[in-house]
Amino acid sequence: MGDWGPWSTGSVDRKQALQVIRQAGRPGRRSAGTAAEQRAELERTRVQLMIEITARAEAYRKGLLAAAKRLSPEEAEIISDLEEHGLQVPQLHDLLCGGHVLVDDPKLYEKWRFDQLSHLRISSHHRDIDKSRYPDIGMRGQVVREKLHGRTAQGTWVQLEKTPAAFGKRKLPSPTDVLHLVDYVVYRVTRSNVGPWGLSRLTERRPMYLSPIVAIPTSLAPAVAESLGSALRQIEADDDMTAVSRDLAARFPPPRRPDPAGELGQALAGRAGRGLFGSSEVWVTETPSPTAAAVFGKRGEQVPRGLLGAAAGGHE
């Protein structure tokens, strides 16, 4: 357990990363490699920037940013795939600290099997799956240390481990296996997974769930459908009045749909409107307006808090 501390939140060479992004997207530039290689490098640079952002806000074991500089294309692909399925930057902390992640996409199981890098693993995760048909797959890397993934009934699970485990059939325990058992003791004591860069409370019993398949088509009783449609029309009418003035709302009414409940349960494509920072905490800081302070100072009044940032403006 020698690399538990100290904690570090250093910096990555952002100028070099941004230069790669600009060069990859510059029209008319002679390519330095194939299109696939350029996409892989762009993906790798993007993931490195995500790691830098989360390293500024969260605490990790020492060495994360140095490892991110040696991020492999395969590691970047795994994190990028999770991001495409809804992983946000704040959730990246739990992933790097060993959080158990479920994704309702079975295609990722085969996609994350990389030639000459992946190896079969034995684990106790998801025992309801036929391991002879869907064995657990491991992969080692600078950032993921030991990536472990497998199948679930609906998709794929993945978890990053601090210490690789090599024991299995016809293999004798190694020193790393002993360290892996030490990590298991830490898990039993803290009830937290031991990941490459910290501890996470998101275990298999309480996982991070990305892109869950929760839409179940069903029909409503006529009375319920009528009541639901009436409530949705009232909500739309209230929203219409609060968005603009009443005069404009009357002149430009929204489209009238025969059944407003028909849109419920429809999923959006891609990230479904969820940005990289959708679950981030937001702080708003404002600087005092000298003009407003001078005006209220002459009147002997106290400056209202809502006007403090009127002139200088606020930022998130």
Cα 70 from chain centroid?
Answer: 21
> Rounded to 5 degrees, what are φ and ψ at 125?
-80, 140
* Tokens found for residue 83: 């991001």
Q: What whole-number distance in Å separates Cα of residue 182 and Cα of residue 188? A: 10
CA nearest neighbour of 82 among 129, 29, 144, 24 = 144
Q: What whole-number distance in Å separates Cα of residue 205 and Cα of residue 98? A: 13
Q: 177-208 burial, b if ≥16 CB within 10 A, otherwise e?
A: bebbeebeebeeeeebbbbbbbbbebeeeebb
Q: What is the dihedral of CA 24, 26, 30, 36, to 10 degrees?
A: 30
The predicted structure's pLDDT at residue 37: 86
Going residue by residue through the chain, which has 316 residues, state the pLDDT in tens, using 9 for 90 and above: 444 433 433 444 445 544 544 454 444 444 456 888 888 899 999 999 999 999 988 889 999 999 999 999 999 999 999 999 989 888 999 999 999 999 999 999 999 999 989 999 888 899 999 999 999 999 999 999 999 999 999 899 999 998 876 655 555 566 766 776 777 788 788 889 999 999 999 999 999 998 777 666 677 788 888 888 888 888 877 766 555 566 766 677 667 777 777 766 565 565 555 566 666 665 555 556 677 677 767 766 555 555 455 444 444 4
* Tokens found for residue 306: 């809502």
* Tokens found for residue 82: 């999770």
pLDDT 10s digits, 72-85 = 999 999 999 999 99
Sign of the dihedral through C-alpha 295, 301, 306, 309? positive
SS (H, E, C) 184-238: HHHHHHHCCEEECCEEECCCCCCCEEECCCCCCCCCCCHHHHHHHHHHHHHHHHH
Sign of the dihedral through C-alpha 12, 14, 17, 21? positive
* Tokens found for residue 286: 């404002």
Strand partners, 140: 146
* Tokens found for residue 140: 């080692």
The predicted structure's pLDDT at residue 9: 38
